[in-house]
Amino acid sequence: MARRPVSALHPIGCTCKLCQPALTPRRRLDLARTATRVLVILAVVLTIPFIVASALSGGKGDPR
């Protein structure tokens, strides 16, 4: 079989490596998304006491 030049047009549904690049493993992507969600939730949970303290000190008139 003759090799096609790189610039050759490929038919729809072509399964060559140029048309179907290797994707990152799905597991890595899921792990990255899960880690990001955990860090965001952790950041939100850790900021809640500071928000409550700020609201309480503002309600009492404490200038801190």
Record the pTM: 0.50
Integer Rg of the chain from CA: 27
Residues 6+ apart with CB under 8 A from 19: 10
Place of tokens 């955990």: 38
Q: What is the pLDDT of residue 59?
A: 72
Arithmetic mean of pLDDT over the chain? 79
Give the DSSP H or E segment for 41: helix 26-60
List the chain domain ranges.
Answer: 24-64
pLDDT digits (tens, 9 = 90+) for 21-52: 665 567 778 888 999 999 999 999 999 999 99
